[in-house]
A and B are shown apart, each in its own frame.
Chain A
Amino acid sequence: MAEIKDITEARKKILGNYFDYSMLFMVIFLLGFGLLMVYSASSYTSEQSYGDAAYYLKRQFIADVLGIIAMFVVMFIPYKFWSKFPIAAYAISIVSIILIIPFGIESHGAKRWLKVAFGFNVQPAEIAKLCMIVVLAVVVAKMGKGIRAWKGFFVAIGWSLPIAALIRLITNNMSSALIVVGIAFLMVFVASPDYKKFILMVLAGAALFAVLVLVARAGMSNGNFRFGRLAVWLDPESQAQGQGFQVLQGLYAIGSGGIFGKGLGESMQKINYLPEAQNDMIFSVVCEELGIFGAFGIMLIFLLLLWRMMIVAQNAKDSFGLMLVVGVMAHIAIQVMLNIAVVSNSIPNTGVSLPFISYGGSSVLFLMAEIGLVFSVARGIEVSQS
């Protein structure tokens, strides 16, 4: 017995720290599942456009590998290191967004990418989300109890607003702007012991939205379509061939999949009908091929992933580490919720990708870096035998 104890002690010294294998497994599973779904959703269109059914699959695979490397690199850097560069991180996100104006690459009718190398482009909005998490974690950690006051609250949220505004104005990307603000909002929510402020904010937001909806409804009955997205959201079938096409085709996909789906690879909607099937609308293809059952499975894995992150956050050594993990949690949770909400037409259509699963190199790369941050925080947790 003594020998065994010695070995355990020895191992504790070697490994030293906590490593969440279940979380790693879930992330790898999601990436693998993502590759599968990207291939399934894109092979027809990529065969048509590029003459190579695996075009998107290959690119996504490279991005995944780069992402896993990034994750391990970030994991082995003690997360405290990042607390030294909040200003630099903030500056990087602003500069990279502004660089789009002269050097941006246009695709799908929007200018959102910067060319890096080897035909790979990077989306500054994704950099901004990562940097936002780091910056706010530093800010909140430094602020300490100051966050409780309205002033602290506004200062913390305020950091996100310029970035969000730049993203909205320069890249015309409403959803990324909302996500940046959302991340900030949720991080501050966790940091602050208060509830009243947040309930008020949420109520105010909901009221504003309700007013918009009412105005849009009135506008629709007068034949005024200035509130295009809202109008489509309220009645997608009215513009089945226009703006409502994507939403409606997504709903057709979900509805036609039923409970157990048509089987992997059997989606019919991905063939010429569902625009961006491998990207923002990939969850529709999941629903069509694997049914509600498969969709719930994926949602469950996201919940488990978020739960593991919560455990890591709970055990973080300091508030900077805790806030880092909360930021990553918030990022993933917001994107998953927005994506599923858009696909199910629960909210007006806005382009949000599904983390780890949707096609998109920048998204995966920076998400994996964020996962690396979480692992880095986890490594800080000292594990002892009970």
Chain B
Amino acid sequence: MAKKNRPKLNITMRRKLVVLYGLVLLAFVGLGARLLWIARENGAQYEKQVLSQQHYDSVTIPYRRGDIVDAKGTILATSEKVYNLIIDSSVMTYDDKYIEPTLNAVQQCFPDADITAIRNHVYANKEKEAGSRSAWYVALKQISYEDKQAFENMQNDPDNEDASLIKGVWFEDEYKRVYPNGSLAAHVIGFTKAGGQNEGQYGLEEYYNDMLNGIDGREYGYMNDDATLERTVKPAVDGYTIHSSIDANVQSVIEKYLKQFNDEHVNGNKDGNGAEHIACIAMEVDTGRVLGMAEYPTFDLNNTRDTTPLLGTRAYEMITNDNGYQVIKKTDTVITQEVLDEMPDDQVYLNLNNLWKNFCISNTYEPGSTAKPFTVAAALESGTITGNEVYACNGFLTKSEHKIKCHNYKSGGCGEVSVTNSIAWSCNVALMKIGDTLGKKRFCEFQRIFNFGLKTNIDLAGEARTATLIYTPDQMVDSDLATNTFGQNFNTTMIQMITGYCSLINGGYYYEPHIVDKITNANGATIKNIEPRVLKQTVSESTSAFIRNATRETVMQGGRATGSTARPAGYAIGGKTGTAETIPRGNNEYVVSFMGHAPADDPKVAIYVVVDRANNWKQDDAKYATGIVRNIFTEILPYLNIFMTEELSEKEIKELEEKQIAITNMYTTPSEEEGESTTGENKDTSSSETVTDSTGETALKVPAWMSYPIDSATGYRVDPKTGNQFDAKTGEPITDTSVLDDDVPVNSNIINVQDDAGGVE
């Protein structure tokens, strides 16, 4: 190519043009070098930077923690969707006209939100250049769906002129743990940590934490290979639902009567609750399923930090003991509002922790005479007795040079006692003699067979270890064996006792106790079925039949038998009372209990009630426990489809009718006030009972728990107020109190357990 006609004038221009091009070329080279330098010097660091900031770009979709439901599907714990209010100031400040209408709308719909803080945030963000990173602001947490809906309605309201100007407000999903029944089965269910964390504490929430929790999902946008936008949602996997064997109806009946006992004995002998602990377990005999498990005092699962339930309990404090260890000790102080006000926060927390603990599995105590059937069963099973023996009881037996008394030592002993009656009358001397036939080694073997000293492995968090709280044969002296035969000087938990008892009466099958039947996923598909599991055979069927008969005699025999007061009208049941002296001995403090089953001959349901140190000047009265059992059985046996087998006396019919009316009233009473007045009446009635009794009037609105039926069944004259005094007059005590003299040696391992937090590891 050649070009023509170049004007002379342009020659210098052309030269300068080349120079210009050269300069541009130079600049390009310079810039190219600069780019290369950036990539070489900072490439690695910038790459990390890009990846790290990208990390925060995706949105987490929270999973929903699974529900806990009872055997009938009643929801005990659930997770409710709530919303967090998010202010996105980068959107809100995109145009100045959005800011004020949006802030006004937020203020109007969410009066709880700190509008000043939001305003400050928005304007602080507006001052900065676009792209500033802190545009996201969580203004309010856990808003209900209704509140969110109200805001969205306002935003979409066609009549609202400003609606289109409301911008930059989002809602983020979150879940909140809710317990629809408040305090129902609080100790069994447990709760989750405060602040929306899905971490279970205590009970099922802790034990099944991993099952209940799911996996968070994620939502993120990215460019795919075709450079198009992809919005990917990896959905959250919701947690599994736990189906408990607890029956909410059984549970609430149990809780009602535990509370009733408390209300009747509150501020009795001294200020404070009706007892230190009142606890109950109901278990299905042939499966080990727990139907109900409760204790008083309890707490509200929706407000676990509430200190009101602490009022009336004995305060715990952390002290340094003689060996220099920090231990938690029970003090004699009863918590009142004044005490609470002065208590430092960590002490309050200590006491709350103790309140949250499940007495039924975490606390240990000396079981007392409820251990007698175990001793007898062990002797029968090992063949050291036949069951036909008759023992003579003159009120005491001397062991290791200590005089160990029977409960009717003062009236000269029980006389001739058959093996059956050793249980029915709760004779310590007979038991000590049976224990002698067993010997220390075999006794300890059988304790192991009955699972004492071992965990039951119930599926609840916080089961106590009792390995050190029972004897080994080499540690035992004669007096230890003697006291052990009637349940003193070794510690058990309630769950150990009732699980072992079920095996004694069901033909010897020791079922692993469990409180969860089934685990399903969020769609309802079964993940795991928890079938009843027989761990071992403790005794043979013939021994079991003997124990069933002996426990039946305890309740049904009348006369000197100790358990008559536990019998619900119309039913034949079996059971065993227990009254154990606490440590230190001799200060008149007792744990009374009743362990029973119904029906007597074909056990379906077993129950165990423990009243730890009742608030009464006289604590050693098994009627505290039998009364509760009777009330509970009266209500739950019909519910569990266990029918009456015994004839009802007129008095019993009347009593049942009144009870039915009282229960119906409970659910139909329109207002709370009247409900309370009913309780008031209740109290009045029990106080006026003496009067009614002496005058022969039967116009009782609500039957008291230790009233006429006892009289009619046994022929005893038992005055509910002062009954124990009059008992002595007849010379035939109906208590089975173990009165251990101060000099009887005490298992050193259980001394500390008795008063401290209860021997939980």
Q: Are A267 and B223 in contact (CB under 8 A)?
A: yes
Kindly provide the distance from the CB of B54 to the nearest chain A CB, expressed in whole angstroms.
5
Kindly provide the distance from the CB of B231 to the nearest chain A CB, expressed in whole angstroms.
8
Q: Are B227 and A292 in contact (CB under 8 A)?
A: no
Measured between beta carbons, the chain B residues less than 8 angstroms from A104 are none
Q: Are B43 and A271 in contact (CB under 8 A)?
A: no
Kindly provide the distance from the CB of A57 to the nearest chain B CB, expressed in whole angstroms.
10
CA distance A256 to B41 in the complex (A): 11
Residue B50 CB within 8 A of the other chain: yes
Residue A341 CB within 8 A of the other chain: yes
| Residue-wise interface mask of B (36-53) relative to A, using a CB-CB cutoff of 8 A (1 in contact, 0 not) | 101100110111011101
CA distance A251 to B18 in the complex (A): 33
CA distance A267 to B42 in the complex (A): 17
Residue A373 CB within 8 A of the other chain: no
**Residue on B nearest A303 in the bound complex, by CB:** B28
Residue A119 CB within 8 A of the other chain: no
Q: Are A242 and B128 in contact (CB under 8 A)?
A: yes
Residue B27 CB within 8 A of the other chain: yes
Interface centre among B17, B27, B57, B134 (most CB of A within 10 A): B17
Q: Are A266 and B223 in contact (CB under 8 A)?
A: yes
CA distance A303 to B32 in the complex (A): 12
Q: Are B1 and A386 in contact (CB under 8 A)?
A: yes
Measured between beta carbons, the chain B residues less than 8 angstroms from A253 are 46, 50
Q: Are B39 and A252 in contact (CB under 8 A)?
A: no
| Residue-wise interface mask of B (379-411) relative to A, using a CB-CB cutoff of 8 A (1 in contact, 0 not) | 000000000000000000000000000000000
User: Of B18, B35, B50, B132, which one neighbours A310 at CB under 8 angstroms?
Assistant: B18
Residue A221 CB within 8 A of the other chain: no
CA distance A275 to B227 in the complex (A): 18
Q: Are A296 and B54 in contact (CB under 8 A)?
A: no
Known contacts: A40-B227, A268-B50, A346-B31. The answer to whether A333 contacts B129 by CB under 8 A is: no
The stretch from A125-133, A149-157, A190-198 touching chain B is A190-198
Known contacts: A40-B227, A310-B21, A322-B10. The answer to whether A271 contacts B31 by CB under 8 A is: no
**Majority secondary structure, A binding face:** helix
What is the interface residue range for chain A against chain B?
Answer: 35 or more
CA distance A340 to B24 in the complex (A): 13
Residue B2 CB within 8 A of the other chain: yes
**Residue on A nearest B36 in the bound complex, by CB:** A292
Residue B3 CB within 8 A of the other chain: yes
**Residue on B nearest A239 in the bound complex, by CB:** B129
Kindly provide the distance from the CB of A149 to the nearest chain B CB, expressed in whole angstroms.
15
For chain B, the count of residues having a C-beta within 8 Å of the partner chain is 56
Kindly provide the distance from the CB of A38 to the nearest chain B CB, expressed in whole angstroms.
11
CA distance A268 to B5 in the complex (A): 55
Residue A317 CB within 8 A of the other chain: yes
Q: Are A190 and B28 in contact (CB under 8 A)?
A: no
Measured between beta carbons, the chain A residues less than 8 angstroms from B128 are 241-242
Q: Are B9 and A341 in contact (CB under 8 A)?
A: no
Residue A43 CB within 8 A of the other chain: yes
Kindly provide the distance from the CB of B170 to the nearest chain A CB, expressed in whole angstroms.
13
Interface residues of B in 367-389 (CB under 8 A from A): none
Residue B729 CB within 8 A of the other chain: no
Residue B225 CB within 8 A of the other chain: yes
Measured between beta carbons, the chain A residues less than 8 angstroms from B224 are 265
Measured between beta carbons, the chain A residues less than 8 angstroms from B18 are 310
Measured between beta carbons, the chain B residues less than 8 angstroms from A317 are 5, 7
Kindly provide the distance from the CB of B428 to the nearest chain A CB, expressed in whole angstroms.
80
Interface residues of B in 218-234 (CB under 8 A from A): 221-229
Known contacts: A43-B227, A144-B9, A287-B35. The answer to whether A314 contacts B14 by CB under 8 A is: yes
Q: Are A193 and B51 in contact (CB under 8 A)?
A: no
Q: Are A307 and B21 in contact (CB under 8 A)?
A: yes
User: Of A189, A257, A337, which one neighbours B20 at CB under 8 angstroms?
Assistant: A189
| Residue-wise interface mask of A (307-342) relative to B, using a CB-CB cutoff of 8 A (1 in contact, 0 not) | 100100111111100110010011001001100110
CA distance A108 to B1 in the complex (A): 50
CA distance A145 to B11 in the complex (A): 12
Q: Are B17 and A190 in contact (CB under 8 A)?
A: yes
User: Of A245, A271, A287, A307, which one neighbours B129 at CB under 8 angstroms?
Assistant: A245
Residue A9 CB within 8 A of the other chain: no
Q: Are B28 and A299 in contact (CB under 8 A)?
A: yes
CA distance A252 to B728 in the complex (A): 94
Residue B13 CB within 8 A of the other chain: yes
Interface residues of B in 223-272 (CB under 8 A from A): 223-229
Measured between beta carbons, the chain B residues less than 8 angstroms from A273 are 50, 53-54
User: Of B24, B43, B134, which one neighbours A255 at CB under 8 angstroms?
Assistant: B43
Residue A53 CB within 8 A of the other chain: yes
Interface centre among A253, A302, A316, A384 (most CB of B within 10 A): A316
Measured between beta carbons, the chain B residues less than 8 angstroms from A346 are 31, 34
User: Of B15, B38, B129, B225, which one neighbours A265 at CB under 8 angstroms?
Assistant: B225
Kindly provide the distance from the CB of B130 to the nearest chain A CB, expressed in whole angstroms.
6
CA distance A43 to B224 in the complex (A): 11
Kindly provide the distance from the CB of B20 to the nearest chain A CB, expressed in whole angstroms.
6
Known contacts: A265-B226, A341-B31, A344-B31. The answer to whether A255 contacts B45 by CB under 8 A is: yes
Measured between beta carbons, the chain B residues less than 8 angstroms from A329 are 20-21
Measured between beta carbons, the chain B residues less than 8 angstroms from A291 are 39
Residue B160 CB within 8 A of the other chain: no
Q: Are B53 and A190 in contact (CB under 8 A)?
A: no
**Residue on A nearest B48 in the bound complex, by CB:** A256
Residue A234 CB within 8 A of the other chain: no
Residue B441 CB within 8 A of the other chain: no
| Residue-wise interface mask of B (49-78) relative to A, using a CB-CB cutoff of 8 A (1 in contact, 0 not) | 111011001000000000000000000000
CA distance A221 to B636 in the complex (A): 82
Q: Are B47 and A258 in contact (CB under 8 A)?
A: yes
Residue A369 CB within 8 A of the other chain: no
**Residue on B nearest A54 in the bound complex, by CB:** B228
Kindly provide the distance from the CB of B388 to the nearest chain A CB, expressed in whole angstroms.
89
Residue B533 CB within 8 A of the other chain: no
Interface residues of A in 110-146 (CB under 8 A from B): 144-145
User: Of A246, A258, A264, which one neighbours B227 at CB under 8 angstroms?
Assistant: A264
Residue B324 CB within 8 A of the other chain: no
Q: Are A43 and B228 in contact (CB under 8 A)?
A: yes
Residue A173 CB within 8 A of the other chain: no
Measured between beta carbons, the chain A residues less than 8 angstroms from B39 are 254-255, 257-259, 287, 291-292
Kindly provide the distance from the CB of A377 to the nearest chain B CB, expressed in whole angstroms.
12
Measured between beta carbons, the chain B residues less than 8 angstroms from A315 are 3, 6
Kindly provide the distance from the CB of B168 to the nearest chain A CB, expressed in whole angstroms.
13
CA distance A242 to B131 in the complex (A): 8
**Residue on B nearest A109 in the bound complex, by CB:** B130
Q: Are A271 and B38 in contact (CB under 8 A)?
A: no
User: Of A256, A314, A384, which one neighbours B17 at CB under 8 angstroms?
Assistant: A314
Q: Are B32 and A299 in contact (CB under 8 A)?
A: yes
Q: Are A268 and B51 in contact (CB under 8 A)?
A: yes
Measured between beta carbons, the chain B residues less than 8 angstroms from A40 are 223, 227
CA distance A259 to B38 in the complex (A): 11
Measured between beta carbons, the chain A residues less than 8 angstroms from B54 are 268, 271, 273
Measured between beta carbons, the chain A residues less than 8 angstroms from B46 are 251-256
CA distance A310 to B130 in the complex (A): 41
Residue B16 CB within 8 A of the other chain: yes
CA distance A267 to B47 in the complex (A): 11
Kindly provide the distance from the CB of B292 to the nearest chain A CB, expressed in whole angstroms.
55
CA distance A299 to B24 in the complex (A): 11
Measured between beta carbons, the chain A residues less than 8 angstroms from B31 are 299, 337, 340-341, 344, 346
Q: Are B7 and A53 in contact (CB under 8 A)?
A: no
Measured between beta carbons, the chain A residues less than 8 angstroms from B47 are 255-256, 258
Kindly provide the distance from the CB of B31 to the nearest chain A CB, expressed in whole angstroms.
5
**Residue on B nearest A344 in the bound complex, by CB:** B34
Residue A39 CB within 8 A of the other chain: yes
Measured between beta carbons, the chain A residues less than 8 angstroms from B24 are 303, 306, 333, 337
| Residue-wise interface mask of A (354-373) relative to B, using a CB-CB cutoff of 8 A (1 in contact, 0 not) | 00000000000000000000
Q: Are B1 and A383 in contact (CB under 8 A)?
A: yes
The 6 closest A-B CB pairs, nearest first, are A265-B227, A255-B46, A256-B47, A193-B12, A275-B131, A256-B50
The 6 listed contacts between A and B (C-beta, < 8 Å) are A43-B227, A48-B221, A108-B130, A258-B47, A265-B227, A314-B14
